[in-house]
Amino acid sequence: MTLSIDLSDEELEKILLGDRGRDLLMEKVFNQILQAEMTDHLGADRYERSQDRSGHRNGSYERQLTTRVGQLTLEVPRCKDGSFSTKLFQRYQRSEKALVLALMEMVVQGVSTRRVKKITTELCGREFAKSTVSRLTKRLDEQVKAWDERPLEGEYPFLVLDAMHVKVRRQGGVRSTAVLLAVGISEEGQREILGLRVAPGETEEAWKSFLEQLSERGLTGVEHVTSDRDRGLKEAIRRQLPGVIWTPCHAHLRRNVLDDTPDKWRESMKDLMDEVLQASSQPEAWRIFEEILEGERPKMVTVANGEGQTEEINAYRKLREEAAPALATLKETLEDATAVLSLPGKYRRRLRTTNMIERLIEEVRRRENVIRIFPNMDSAWRLIGAVLAEKHEEWSTGRKYLDMAEFQDWKKQARRPEPEPDESTERQPAMAT
């Protein structure tokens, strides 16, 4: 669908100088999107003669769309056979409704400011009652619940887990509340947001319950999990997904190691981690790390001494002397951090971090920042779930995230039974030393 927004001089003047500038621009854009959708549906533009035409227009009807910039009046086109249906309202309004409902709930529960009440009145176009909020909430909850509880079909070889924290009014105060998130990559290579769980805290029990729920909905075939190094989450993965390859997020690990490294040696520590974590294999990563610890792999750098002159020193030796705690953290985590190296090379870059979910959280924050403090946990689940459901539709119907052909070959090779030991070799006496 190709879209070109046409504005007359009069319309442009209203948008730039009028009080409803943003509203008018949004109405113009959305109305032209609707007309473009109809053109695609019919296979022909207005008055166009075409052999590909599948129907004819039949006027339009008005429909209100509530957005954060105000209430828009849109002209929805109709076709004679009634077969045209736009997806614009369904996809756009789900998260917008959740945002408005959260604000409305704040007013109904008496925890809002005058500013919030003014915003909700402007967004809804009128005053509202508690019964209105309840009715709209029930309708939206059904949509979000249907998405959040849908059966998971097929296998999801790759799983990424992370959490965000939001502020919610509960137990007589404003408390930090965890929102657990799961993204899977299907055997077809599509990204899918599998679900969310709002919990009082990011505990082992909360993660265990969330993973159990995903399993009950059909989560199977997991080969590799990426998450942060939270001990509760790691233990929940071990219990609920036994035998999977687990990689702690390299971005989180790097930050933790650098936090324990003196400022003057951080660049050298970054180089060290690049060498180790981007090795060709896990044994190679350990070999490089041990060579660095034992002084067999120097890194010479030029630094200024106290006499205004420069000299060459071994930066890795300085790290061993002045950043021992940072190296200890890296060594403690190295076995798990390099587990991703067992996968084919083309999958490692995207599966070594939780950046995928970090970017998803940024999408949620844009809406959550308007609320700042949710009136209750249900409100948080509703708004975040609505945003995630829309993003899921975009991901699952878009282009593939990964080509899984090489993974399928790796999987067959990894599951091939090991050859039986040669009995004649076993019976040979060991060589004397």
Give pairs for 90-96: CB < 8 Å, separation 24+.
Answer: 91/390, 91/393, 92/65, 92/67, 93/65, 93/66, 94/140, 94/143, 94/144, 94/386, 94/389, 94/390, 95/367, 95/383, 95/386, 95/387, 95/390, 96/66, 96/67, 96/68
- Read off the tokens for 237: 């993965």
DSSP label of 125: S
Query: What residues does 184 pair with on adjacent strands?
Result: 159, 192
**Residue whose entry in the numeric block shows the structure tokens 């999990």:** 225
pLDDT at 431: 33
Asked if residues 303 and 310 have their Cβ atoms less than 8 Å apart, the reply is: yes
Compute the distance between CA of residue 397 and CA of residue 400 in angstroms, rounded to an integer. Answer: 9
Residue 244's alpha-carbon distances to 180, 237, 239, 344, 395, in angstroms, are: 20, 8, 10, 16, 25
Compute the distance between CA of residue 179 and CA of residue 399 in angstroms, rounded to an integer. Answer: 27
Strands (E), 129-254: 158-170, 173-185, 191-199, 224-227, 245-248
Asked if residues 83 and 41 have their Cβ atoms less than 8 Å apart, the reply is: yes
pLDDT at 430: 35
Asked if residues 225 and 245 have their Cβ atoms less than 8 Å apart, the reply is: yes
Asked if residues 300 and 312 have their Cβ atoms less than 8 Å apart, the reply is: yes
Indicate the domain borders of the chain: 9-46+53-86, 101-148, 250-352
pLDDT at 423: 47
pLDDT at 164: 95
Per-residue pLDDT of the chain in tens (433 residues, 90 and over written 9): 444 445 455 654 554 444 454 456 667 767 777 888 788 888 888 777 787 788 888 888 887 776 655 667 888 888 888 787 776 665 555 666 665 666 555 544 544 545 555 555 555 555 555 665 666 677 778 888 999 999 999 999 999 999 999 999 988 899 999 999 999 999 999 999 999 999 999 999 999 999 999 999 999 999 999 999 888 899 999 999 999 999 999 999 999 999 999 998 999 999 999 999 999 999 999 999 999 988 888 888 777 776 667 778 888 998 999 999 999 999 999 999 999 999 999 999 999 999 999 999 998 888 777 778 888 898 889 889 888 988 998 898 889 999 999 999 998 887 655 555 554 444 333 333 2
Phi, psi torsion values for 396, nearest 5 degrees: -70, -20
CB-facing half-sphere around the CA of 93: CA atoms within 13 A: 19
CB atoms closer than 10 angstroms to residue 9: 7
Compute the distance between CA of residue 117 and CA of residue 105 in angstroms, rounded to an integer. Answer: 10
- Read off the tokens for 261: 């490294």
Q: Could you tell me the pTM of the whole model?
A: 0.70
pLDDT at 76: 86
Sign of CA dihedral 103, 109, 114, 118: positive
